[in-house]
Amino acid sequence: MKYLFFVQNNGRGHLAQALTLKEKLTSRGHEVLGAVVGSKNGSALPEFFKEQFVQPIYTVASPYFVTDKKNRGIKIMASIALSLSRLPKYRSSLKTIKNIIKDLKPDILINCYEPIAGTFYRLNKVSQPMYCLSHQYFISHPTFKYPRISWLARTSFKIYNSLTAPDSATKIALSFTKENDLPNNNLFVCPPLIRSAIKNSRPRNQDFILTYILNSGYGADIEAWCRNNPSYHVEAFRQQTEETKSVLNNLVFHALSGEKFIDRLINCGAYASTGGFESIAEASYLKKNILMVPTAGHFEQKCNVSDAQRAELVNVSETFDLSLLASRQTKTHSDGQLAFKKWVDNYEDKIINILEQKTK
């Protein structure tokens, strides 16, 4: 079968999922025609994705979150207002997607949480089935329990989910734990996509803490902690122009990367991250000691953090207090991490099997 990907470009999580799924599909003899990636300016993409996704990549303008002045938290109302002001750009994106599908003639559409793709599918008569893949769809499963977030945040989350995944599309909810499928709701629960480089690695616990931050404003918090704790070494990944930037004797910042991030994650003694999903799944598979810090105002991340706590995979803090990890870098593996690894290993082909069974 021939597949066309749609991918949200916000951080590294959805991009990494697309890379792993592409690897799995091609290993089973399928063809990936390309990827349509939504971004704030229609062009900027992390180098690690461009290097590893060798098929054609098309970029389109897509909604994104507005951050505060310190580039830390997100502002929901400002994000909504900006999206409304950019509607002409989004209409152009819809036309671009229509032309790409017409030219490439894929058999299957796979959407990694890109709202423009979901909107296109809802507004157009498309013969190809669409499969929507994300942890965010797990909020529709009865196992999921919402954390304390506002009515506006919860409503915004549900609306955004519906934008990315129309009712006619099949939802694949990535989950930290094994749960029942809901076929009557067109919802199937699958383990996270763990890259082969992670699965085939031999984890080590070297004497450094690794961090990943969605918004660069949190770098100041990490720098402050390192100044007060000079005996601990920290390496951090964030969006930046320099490939590597040494800030202190015990602190180095790296630009978003693929192979380098995997290497440092495999070898770190502990891992701290904002509240994304993908890297937490990877660190859990490697049985690392993990600290999650949800980005301020980011309702999706608060839900990710709550769900990771439910699965007994992480420590949680509102700040990057790495002291919560520093004294426990050699912790005993939790029952949650052992159950998680078993879930991933025993059901690693479930996503591909769903795609193949539904396209025969």
Return the CATH number at 136: 3.40.50.2000
Q: In terms of residue numbers, what domain contains 336? A: 197-343
In what helix (H) or strand (E) does residue 38 lie, and over which residues does it extend? Answer: strand 31-39
Residues 355 and 325 in one domain: no
Q: What is the pLDDT of residue 359?
A: 43
Is there a single domain that holds both residue 105 and residue 212? no
DSSP string, 124-148: S--SS-EEEEEGGGGGGSTT----S
pTM comes to 0.88
Shared domain for 160 and 227, answered yes or no, is no
Do 84 and 19 lie in one domain? The reply is: yes
Same-domain status, 34 and 183:
yes
User: What's the pLDDT at 148?
Assistant: 82
- What is the residue-wise DSSP string for 158-194? HHHHHHHS-TTSEEEEE-SS----BGGGTEEEE----
211 and 352 part of one domain:
no
Residue 168 and residue 202 in one domain: no
Q: What is the dihedral of CA 287, 175, 38, 68, to 10 degrees?
A: -70
Same domain (yes/no): 231, 273: yes
Pairing of strands 2-8, 108-112: parallel
Amino acid at site 287: K
**Which positions of the chain have pLDDT values less than 50?**
359-360
Does residue 158 sit in the same domain as residue 15?
A: yes
Rounded to an integer, what distance in angstroms lies between the CA atom of residue 70 and that of residue 238? Answer: 15
Residues 66, 166 share a domain: yes
Judgement on whether residues 231 and 161 belong to the same structural domain of the protein: no
Alpha helices in the chain (DSSP H): 13-27, 47-52, 76-85, 87-104, 115-123, 151-164, 196-199, 219-228, 259-267, 278-285, 299-310, 323-326, 335-346, 350-359
Residue in 38, 49, 31, 33 with CA at minimum distance from that of residue 7 = 38
Domain count, the chain: 2
